[in-house]
Chains A and B, each alone.
Chain A
Amino acid sequence: MRENVKARRVVTGAAVLALFLSGCGGETIESGSDGGGSGSGENCGTVNLAVNPWVGFEADVAVVKYVAEEELGCTVNTKDLTEEVSWQGFASGEIDVILEDWGHPELEQQYVEDQKVAVKVGESGNVGQIGWFVPPWMKEKYPDITDWNNLNKYADLFKTSESGGKGQLLDGDPSFVTNDEALVKNLDLNYKVVYSGSEAALITAFRQAEEKKEPLLGYFYSPQWFLAEVPLVKVDLPAYEEGCDADPEKVACDYPETPLLKFARKEFMDSGSPAANLVQNFSWTNDDQNLVAKYISEDKMDYDAAAQKWVEENPDKVEAWIK
């Protein structure tokens, strides 16, 4: 019986509270379309941008989205996807644009050549560089470490529980193809490739290595926001020459510099939408991208705030994209 009374009291209490709150009133919800973009829209319509899981890509998307919405009045949807799945989106019509592609010959063959649903739009202006890196403190202490010829001399420094008595070369991001197994073999290096398995693992490893002055040799790439936090130093492998990486088994040279590419859905590019024009013209430098990436990752700004800041600082670049 006691519980009975108690329970009833709670209910009446809740009802009274509710009445009281409603008495207070408050701002009501005006139904009607407030929807998304406020821009008048010069028949721009909707654009679906893929967002691949790294911050540099997010920087591209943030700026293009901001410009498309604010300047062109488009409605922009962003979709967080991995590379493979983004390409599938060209075929299904769910993705219009991939703003940064690091080279997927097989997917390009399939969707651009065979199915003809996607087109190569051109370069994004960013240049991708894959390579072997060491934390900056090592370069200071061992100045000659940036020459691959000296790597065997230092192999002992890089031993870990995972490398079976050899030096450890930490590979990592499963999204990227690597030649490292072949490189180690063909350059006769006393190293073992250890797969960390994620970008998070690689960055954590480099961050710790610099903080605690521990040796680390690892696979990394630029542009990448983390380079703004810890400027890793690249180890020079035998210079890249056209075709030296043709046979994956026999590679013995550095990775090529890769101009990063924009791809888009064919129908979208043919639609004559002003957004298609923007995507066509969009181009910026690694420094630009790293800066916006830093706004997003370190300063924790949201897409729009980060983009707005950069756009306001670089009006002429933006002007060139939308003319």
Chain B
Amino acid sequence: MTVLTASRAAFTRPGRGRLIVAVVGVFVVLAAILRGTHTLSLVPSDTTALHRWFNEVNRWVSSNRNESPLFLYFFNEIRAFVGSLTTFFQDLIAQPSYGRPVPIIGWLGVVAILTLLALVFANLRVALLVVAGFSFIGLQGLWEESMQTLALTLSAVFLALLIGIPLGIWAGLSDRVHAVLSPVLDFLQTMPTFVYLAPFTLLFLIGPASATLVTLVYALPPAVRYTAHGIRSVPRASVEASESLGANGFQRLVGVLLPMSMRTVVLGLNQTIMAALSMATVAALIDAPGLGKTILKALQTLDVGTSFNAGLAIVVMAIVLDRLTTAASRRAPVQQQPRWRRPLLIGAGLAALFCVYLSRTYVWAAEFSTGSTIGDDIARLSSTFSDWVTSTFSDLTGWLKDTTTALLLDPLQTLLVESPWWLVAALLLALAFLLGNLQATVVTAFCVAGLVLSGLWQDSMTTLAATLLATAATLLLGVAVGVWMARSPRADLIIRPVLDALQVMPPFVYLVPFLALFAASRFTAILAAVLYAAPVVIKIVADGIVAVSPTAVEAAIASGSSTWQTIWKVQLPMARPALVLAANQGICYVLAMIVVGGLVGAGALGYDVVAGFSQGELFGKGLTAGLAIVVLGIMLNRITQAAAERRRNA
């Protein structure tokens, strides 16, 4: 098999590049001739039979939700359980409960407990960060909202771990389960939240339960993935050693696999928390309390300052929780810890208990009442700043938008959208075959068929054009900044926190300034996608290049390579696996932003999804558009993956 692929690769390689150029050339010529025919266009307010069928399903659910046993014994039970779990967390830290005007634990108690956790699982530095971070949130005047968000996050994360870790272990042990779960997880992560918000409220009504469940959908995949990955990467030798000692399956799991993959599982916890936090904003659309609501309300009156202040609170909370869990995953095992830790922790534990007691007794420790105006100051300053930027630069940015659109986006979009659908389909299949392999071609064929059947072919192609451009820009940016960070520790030190912040800052916050700078346009959507996807891509590239063996780099420098040559000929080629991963993740993250693109003028699938969420008559169309986004994601992922594999084999 290896011989076969190798020889085929050797046979096709010289001509393949030329072949691709030829295929694209033929496509462009035919596209010019046949322009405007068989484009499968559909006006935004029109629907197809499939869309209307989804509407019927929607209506059926709504009329039968009180009678059908499916609801009485299944959905309603889930709702009751998840609802009480979420309410418990809310009562605990966020809202007045048990006849008292305050939550069970007041702010002092919450800070003390988190600090204690930081001391136990991380280190003193992180503990100080916890105190500073949460005090800052309190001073911003957003304590209660933040605790609501935290409560929602905690309950979603709790459920994600409850379900995700066993599933992950199973997927780690069985190849078949892994093969089945992977695409399902991809699906959960790419499916835009807007698509399932409305159906979820039908199934689980509004309120804390559905808010948690919506968040869970997005937070579950990392929990499963990281656990499975951890189990899978336990060295064979350790497993075999335990087998030879006569351990049975369960003993092997508890004694070897789980302890050895603990670090990865905790990293998974980290990603789960981040995912949950980023989704908690969107859940505000179905009445989930918390910071998301503050942000969305501010958006209605275009109040950039207020939404930035709330967005900042999310960023601070995310950074604190991120450092806490990251430090926990890196911490040395218990046996290696110094003896003095125990009395220290007992002391800290008692102090925390005392703080909790105080926070239940005194108003000052229960409610974070501030005379501070930090929140207002931040809001005012950021408003002023945003106004200044938009009024100063909007001519420049307008020119940038117009030029990029005219030179890059419009030609690409015209080719994909205005050509006959079968021509574009043929191009996609040919490229999948030439860049990837037969398997990728088959998957692409199914995806193309799905897009045609969805009735949203033209919208899909418009979205595809924007996605391709956004991904390309993201990768360029990712490589440029990633290389810089990898080569300069100081740059890394400064840029990394900015990337962290960008990753968790809810996109709704920068919607308004972006609109003022670039108007409602496809370019704005592309830019938002790049901004969202770039941090992940940059980090992957930077880490990949740092991991390139230093001896190879030194050898290159010793043999007289210039900096440029070292980067181009040694570091980048050797970091290829990281680059492939970056491309893959880049596509995922760009697709995740398509719906937000629909909010800023990108039209196409993103708009269909948003409109479907707002208008009953377009529900089915929105759902179909969501599926089309997933299909696009699968197609692009398969082609890039196959292309990467092929290169590695060649």
- Could you tell me which A residues sit within 8 Å of B by CB distance? 3-4, 6-8, 10-12, 14-15, 18, 21-22, 25-29, 31-35, 53-55, 58, 79-85, 87-89, 91-92, 94, 104, 106-107, 110, 114-115, 160-162, 164, 170, 172-175, 177-178, 181, 193-205, 207-208, 211-212, 225, 248, 296-298, 300
Contact = CB atoms under 8 A, between A and B. Distances in A.
B101 interface: yes
Contacts of B107: none
Contacts of B299: 200
B114 interface: no
Given A25-B362, A174-B611, A195-B607, A110 B300 contact: no
Given A85-B201, A161-B405, A201-B515, A29 B361 contact: yes
Contacts of A162: 405, 520-522, 601
Given A80-B284, A114-B63, 18 more contacts: A4-B338, A15-B347, A28-B363, A35-B99, A55-B301, A79-B287, A80-B297, A91-B66, A110-B62, A110-B63, A161-B402, A161-B405, A177-B615, A197-B600, A197-B602, A200-B515, A201-B599, A204-B302
A31 B366 CA distance: 13
22 contacts: A8-B344, A14-B351, A15-B354, A22-B362, A25-B362, A27-B362, A55-B300, A80-B284, A83-B615, A88-B201, A94-B206, A104-B616, A162-B601, A174-B613, A177-B615, A195-B601, A197-B600, A197-B601, A200-B302, A201-B511, A201-B520, A211-B391
B500 interface: no
Interface of chain B: mostly helix, strand, loop or mixed: helix
Nearest to A199: B300
Contacts of A85: 197-198, 201, 206, 286
Contact of A18 (B206, B300, B351): B351
B394 interface: yes
Interface of B: 43-45, 59, 62-63, 65-66, 99-102, 124, 197-198, 201-202, 205-207, 284-287, 293, 296-297, 299-303, 338, 340, 344, 347-348, 350-351, 354-355, 358, 360-366, 390-391, 394, 401-402, 405-406, 410, 511-512, 515-516, 519-523, 598-603, 606-607, 610-611, 613-617, 619
A212 B201 CA distance: 43
Given A201-B520, A204-B302, A26 B362 contact: yes
B361 A28 contact: yes
Nearest to A110: B59
Contact of B512 (A4, A175, A204, A248): A204
B615 A115 contact: no
A174 B616 CA distance: 11
Given A29-B366, A89-B206, A198-B610, A161 B43 contact: no
A84 B613 contact: yes
Contacts of B615: 83-84, 174-175, 177
A196 B600 contact: yes
A28 B340 CA distance: 37
B394 A29 contact: no
A228 B106 CA distance: 42
Nearest to B204: A92
B207 to A, nearest CB: 7
B616 A84 contact: yes
A32 B101 CA distance: 8
A51 to B, nearest CB: 9
A28 B362 contact: yes
A14 B301 CA distance: 43
Given A18-B354, A198-B600, A201-B515, A27 B363 contact: yes
A81 B284 CA distance: 9
B44 A181 contact: yes
Given A110-B59, A196-B520, A225-B301, A31 B99 contact: yes
Contact of A92 (B65, B611, B613): B65
A177 B600 contact: no
A6 B402 CA distance: 59
B296 A53 contact: yes
Nearest to B297: A80
B529 to A, nearest CB: 14
Contacts of A26: 362-365
A289 B564 CA distance: 64
B292 to A, nearest CB: 10
B521 to A, nearest CB: 5
Contacts of B99: 31-33, 35
A204 B358 contact: no
A9 B30 CA distance: 78
Nearest to A107: B616
B101 A34 contact: yes
Contacts of B59: 110
B45 A248 contact: yes
Contacts of A29: 100-102, 360-363, 366
Contact of A106 (B44, B303, B523, B616): B616
Going nearest first, the 3 A-B pairs with the smallest beta carbon separation are A196-B520, A174-B611, A297-B301
A161 B520 contact: no
B272 to A, nearest CB: 26
Contact of B606 (A28, A197, A225): A197
Contacts of A34: 101
A58 B361 CA distance: 37
Given A194-B601, A201-B599, A79 B362 contact: no
A296 B293 CA distance: 16
A197 B607 contact: yes
A28 to B, nearest CB: 6
Contacts of B366: 29
A248 to B, nearest CB: 7
A205 B519 contact: yes
A92 B207 CA distance: 12
